[in-house]
Amino acid sequence: MIDTSSDPAVAMRGITKRFPGVLANDHIDFEVQAGEIHALLGENGAGKSTLMNILTGLYRADEGEIALHGRRVDIRSPRDAIALGIGMVHQHFMVVEPLTVAENIILGLNKPRFALNMKRAEEEIAALSQRYGLRVDPHAYIWQLSVGEQQRVEILKMLYRGADILILDEPTAVLTPQEAGELGRTLRHMAAEGKAVIFITHKLDEVAEFSDRVTVLRRGRVVATLPTAETTRSDLARLMVGREVLFRLEKEAVEPGETVLDVQGLRALGDKGLPALQGVSFQVRAGEILGIAGVAGNGQRELAEVLTGLRKASAGRVLVGGRDITNRSPRVVIDEGVAHVPGDRLGMGLVPDLAVSDNLILKSYRQPPFCGGFFLHRDSINEHADNLIAAYDIATPSPATPVKLLSGGNLQKCILAREITTGRGLLVAVHPTRGLDVGATEAVRRTLLEQRAAGMAILLISEDLDELLAISDRLAVIYEGRIMGVVDAASADLEEIGLMMAGTEVSTSNPKP
């Protein structure tokens, strides 16, 4: 299937890109053949997105050259890249919300500017989605779609523009396992038609499952390019991190203490004014991790927001350490010792343009030693930043670097470091390892387990069943804003959980503590 004799669809040679304080790409050679799915693998901050952003004209390389199908090209802007048949679905993709799927797809095309033939466009889109198995309704509005569907719109957009080099930056981070499987089949189909597909992921299983070849980056350099069939999961992990990676974490037995979080019959509305939580009740005890499993969009985000004071409950109660914090302000909830690792890192958990050190005091800037009444104490703030950067191994050029320039894994370490140092008693963590590399994932999970051992009550909201099973003590499955059942993680039956995630109520094997 892979034709290595002809010119590669993409050939990047000697690509170097420097950012202040970082060498993001260091003389990278990277080739992709037409007809192959090529996985790009590497730790957070290894330079994967940077390399792809150079290919799509978002950044310009300091050195190096790019050839497409054997022809030297000069890609100076995203428009050039589109004209050259390169399409990319970004890590944080952007679709325009108040438009329909079809409008969104033809938006930004240069040609049909005057005579916009919506009807024909819709037919073509329908044909494309049929052909590649990308189910979406062209008339639907974007805001009505799930994240997985929005991603399909992004892929259709690339196909509609005639891209034959397709780049997907961590596409599966936001997908359910089923959706990820479907995406894999779509990519196969596209490769079989002779398109070149570049696929960035942190999930080693997906590399094995979907890709023909894999290139591993470490600290801006290529460490290997291999046919996927000749690799194993642990080989890849070792290449990425440069050391052995443990896939199993030691979870010591902790005797749970008092009930810290007590949620009783909680109801709340979602963003669109529809019921998102419909009578949720559960408890979490000190030294215990309760996992909330479920398909995205079943009320998980709303649950975290109600617990942390960011969303109003319409009924029910939330007790933390016996004190009623229902519908109190975020400030009160913080003062009660509730820490929150939000799912949206740059959108909510951090202030992108502020320095790392400033972001690390986001929850504690009001208190000594950082603040003495009116003025902030810069020395204490810097010292605090130095300590946390060392303790949590945050890779940053300096504490004064704007936090938005850190890679995904390091963003998450900043949030965790801050929340763990300010929280007392309860930690609400939403997708804490989404988009993180194996090493960082391991570090985050270990941190959560340490906090558990230290007596913190942890509510872990995640769509990653493996993660939930690996570190939680009990697992509650949420479906359409209701808890379908609570099971013991150690003795959980995957099939039973799958049924509950799909909406079947199952008699719980381990009801309440």
Partner 1 sequence: MRLIIEKRLESSRLIAFLVPIASILLALLAGAGLLAAAGVNPWQTYRAMALGAFGSKYSLSETLVKAIPLMLSGLGVSIAFRMLFWNIGAEGQLAMGGFAAAGVALFLADKIPDPLLLPAMFVAAFLAGALWGLIPAGLKAALGVNEIITSLMLNYVAILWIEHLFYGPWKDPQGYGFPGSAQFPKAAWLPRLTGRVHAGLIIAIVAAAFLWLVLGRSKWGYEIKVIGENPRAARYAGMSLARNILLVMLLSGGLAGLAGFGEVAGISHRLQKGLTVGYGYTAIIVAWLARLNPWGVLLVAFLLAGLLVGGDQIQITMGLPAAMALVLQGAILFFVLGGALFAQYRLRLVRRPPGLSTSAEVTE
Ligand X SMILES: Nc1ncnc2c1ncn2[C@@H]1O[C@H](COP(=O)(O)OP(=O)(O)OP(=O)(O)O)[C@@H](O)[C@H]1O
Q: How far apart are CA 362 and CA 173, in angstroms?
A: 27
436 contacts: CB under 8 Å, gap ≥ 6? 44, 202, 408, 409, 412, 444
Q: Is 173 left (phi over 0), alpha (psi -120 to 50) or beta?
A: alpha
Binding to Mg ion in span 41-60, by CB under 5 A: 49
Residue 217 beta carbon to Mg ion: minimum distance, rounded to whole angstroms: 11
Cis-peptide into 369, omega within 30 deg? yes
Residue 434 beta carbon to partner 1: minimum distance, rounded to whole angstroms: 18
Q: Cβ closer to ligand X: 47 or 184?
A: 47
Q: How far apart are CA 223 and CA 42, in angstroms?
A: 10
> What 3 state SS string does 99-168 have?
CEHHHHHHCCCCCCCCCCCHHHHHHHHHHHHHHHCCCCCCCCEHHHCCHHHHHHHHHHHHHHCCCCEEEE
Residue 266 beta carbon to partner 1: minimum distance, rounded to whole angstroms: 20
Q: How far apart are CA 31 and CA 28, in angstroms?
A: 10
Told to check if 308 binds Mg ion by CB under 5 A, we report: no
- What is the contact mask toward partner 1 in residues 272 to 311, using x (rule: CB under 8 A)? ------------------------------------xxx-
Told to check if 34 binds partner 1 by CB under 8 A, we report: no
Residue 388 beta carbon to partner 1: minimum distance, rounded to whole angstroms: 16
Told to check if 227 binds partner 1 by CB under 8 A, we report: no
Binding to partner 1 in span 316-345, by CB under 8 A: 329-335, 340, 342
- Strand duo 289-293 + 457-461: pairing: parallel
Give yes or no for a contact between 262 and 276, defined as CB atoms under 8 angstroms apart: no
Q: How far is CA 76 from the centre of its chain?
A: 29
Residue 406 beta carbon to ligand X: minimum distance, rounded to whole angstroms: 5
Residue 296 beta carbon to partner 1: minimum distance, rounded to whole angstroms: 20
Told to check if 201 binds Mg ion by CB under 5 A, we report: no
Told to check if 371 binds partner 1 by CB under 8 A, we report: yes
Q: How far apart are CA 406 and CA 444, in angstroms?
A: 16
**Binding-site ranges for ligand X (CB under 6 A):** 19-20, 22, 24, 42, 44-50, 91, 405-409, 437
Q: Cβ closer to ligand X: 215 or 298?
A: 215
- Number of neighbours of residue 412 by Cβ within 10 angstroms: 28
- Start-to-end Cα distance in the chain: 56
CA atoms within 13 A on the CB side of 381: 22
Q: Is 378 left (phi over 0), alpha (psi -120 to 50) or beta?
A: alpha
Told to check if 172 binds Mg ion by CB under 5 A, we report: no
| Among the residue ranges 43-51, 256-264, 316-324, 363-371, the one whose residues contact partner 1 (CB under 8 A) | 363-371
Told to check if 124 binds partner 1 by CB under 8 A, we report: yes
Give the residue, chosen from 378, 379, 454, 509, that forms a contact with partner 1 under the rule CB under 8 A: 378
Told to check if 375 binds partner 1 by CB under 8 A, we report: yes
Told to check if 60 binds partner 1 by CB under 8 A, we report: yes
Q: How far apart are CA 470 and CA 465, in angstroms?
A: 8
Residue 121 beta carbon to partner 1: minimum distance, rounded to whole angstroms: 8
In the complex, the residues that contact partner 1 under the rule CB under 8 A are: 58-60, 73, 76-80, 82-85, 109-112, 120, 124, 160-162, 308-310, 329-335, 340, 342, 347-354, 358, 362-363, 365-366, 371, 373-376, 378
In the complex, the residues that contact Mg ion under the rule CB under 5 A are: 49
